[in-house]
Structures are given as C-alpha cells and as structure tokens.
Structure 1
Amino acid sequence: MAAGEHLSKRTDRIADFRQYRHAVQSGAMCYSVRQSGVIETLSLSSRDTGRWIIPKGNIDEDERPYKAAKREAFEEAGVVGKIKKLPIGCYSYVKSPSKPVYLVAVFLLRVTDEEDEFREKGQRIRQWLPPSEAAALVADPN
C-alpha cells in the first residue's frame, strides 16, 4: 500500500483521531503551471495573525477529505481546479493548549481558474510564488 493510500484511509476514519483529542482537517497545496511552463504555488495570509498558510479547514460530516480540501481552497482563496484524491503529506499544529492537536492532510490541487467572488474575499491576501519561496514563507518557526 502506498503512503498516500495509507494516510487517506486514516483520514477517512475521523472518529479514531477525535477520541485521542485530535482534530482532522484537510488542506490544499494549490499550484498552477503558467504559460511559460513555470510552476507557482499559492500562499494565503491567515485571518488572525497574517502568517502565510495554505487553504485548510475542517472536514464536514460525511465529506471526503479531498473534497473538503477543494472546498476550503475555494472558500478561502477563490481557486478552483483538479484535486488529487490521495494526500501528498500531512502536518500537525496546536492553536492553543486548551484545544486539540490538529492533523492536516494535504492534497494537491492544480488550479485552473481564480474567481473574483468567494467567501473570504477581503479577509486574506493571496499570492503566487515559486515553490521554494512559498515554502520559506509558510515555515512555522515553532
């Protein structure tokens, strides 16, 4: 079984994580291949601290994790496209000591269009960068 398949099976069993005080979320690593052939990735500012992040959020009940990632990408950044069904990786973070540990499964989304109107427009800044620059921006100092 490939690593992505194993992670996908685990993220589909959300109740398993919640019983151990984990919250499972889905995130989208959004990328675009420009006409010149250059690949760029999308970085977003968070609403509370202004740090650079990828679109991510909670998985609705009975929602597949990859579909949640696609939904979050549209709601937070106004991007649509083709998403891979298996995660490319995951990471965890803690918002505060009183909250659970968040486990985020990350899915690759090839952006085909950017909408002008979306739920969180005006609350975030979106920018397209080469992957190495985007990685440096989203790196968590903790």
Structure 2
Amino acid sequence: MQVARQIAALPFRHEDDGTVRVLLVTSREAKRWIIPKGWPWPGCDDWLGAAHEAREEAGIIGRMAPTALGSFVYEKRRSTSIIPVRVTVYLLEVTDMLDDWPEKHERQRAWFTPAEAAQAVDVPGLKAMLQSVADLARSARL
C-alpha cells in the first residue's frame, strides 16, 4: 500500500520563565487535538507550505525551520477507506497570533506544555515528538 505525504508545523513559544509551550489545534471533524498539517503545496518548499498551513488552520505566524524536525505516520480515515500518511514536521516559533484566520470557526487552538500536548494527542509518533520538543525548541535558532 502506498503511503501518502503531508507536511506540518509544530508551533511553539518561549515563556518569560524559559519554559516552552506548544500550540495545538482541533481537527475539523473529530475535534481531536493535532498540529497544523496538510497536503504539500505544489511549487512550494515543504517548510513554507507548513507555514501556510499553520496560518490557515491556527492563525499563527512565525519563524520557520527549513529543516525537518522529523516525521510520524498516522492513519487517515476516508469515507470508504483508511490510508497511511507520513507527516514531515517543521518547527515554527510563533511570533504573532491573528484574531481572524481562514479556519477560525472550524477549529479551536490552545497552548500546552509539551507533556500536556503529548497527552492530548492520540498519534504515537506525534506524542513522542511532542515529548522532546522542549529541548529542541530551546536549542533552535530560527
């Protein structure tokens, strides 16, 4: 079976006390906590496409890492089937949160500690990535 491909942003911010927070959004249909993700944008570098997805789904703007943090696989449910999808993830340091964005009325967004975020999501590979994001974000130079 062929594996489909998606891109994602893992949004984070540094708090005044030096801790790291992660932003999650809800999926449109199941309302599960996820990171902003989508299909690659034709003619666009993946990391830039991930930045577009973050703005569209979460209303956030920031500095994006052009090198992938890693990837995880999940099963996307379609009306009549389930397909495996490999998601390539890029760190995004949030610098601005918009009051209005394209999917505002379809999603919620919320800040979590990395541990809380890892508990909130239900995809094992994403859980693992969220558990290590604090160290990665502290050393990131975006």
Name the SS of the counterpart of 2:24 in structure 1.
strand
1:45-76 residue CA offsets vs partner (Å, 9 max, x unmatched): 11111110000001121211101111100000
Shift of 1:43: 1.1
Which portions of structure 1, spanning 4 or more consecutive aligned residues, are displaced by more than 4 angstroms?
Answer: none
Percent identical: 37
The RMSD of aligned alpha carbons is 1.6
1:77-125 residue CA offsets vs partner (Å, 9 max, x unmatched): 0000001011111011122373532110000000000011111002111
Match in the other structure for 1:105 = 88
User: What TM-score results when the alignment is normalised by the length of structure 1?
Assistant: 0.80
Matched, 1:28 2:9: yes
Match in the other structure for 2:132 = none
Partner letter of residue 88 of structure 1? L
Match in the other structure for 1:5 = none
**Which structure's CA Rg is the greater one?**
1
Name the stretch that deviates more: 66-75 or 28-37. Answer: 28-37
Quote the Cα distance in structure 2 between the aligned partners of 1:99 and 1:66.
Answer: 26
Match in the other structure for 1:82 = 63
Match in the other structure for 1:42 = 23
- Unmatched 5+ residue regions in structure 1? 1-19
- Unmatched 5+ residue regions in structure 2? 125-142
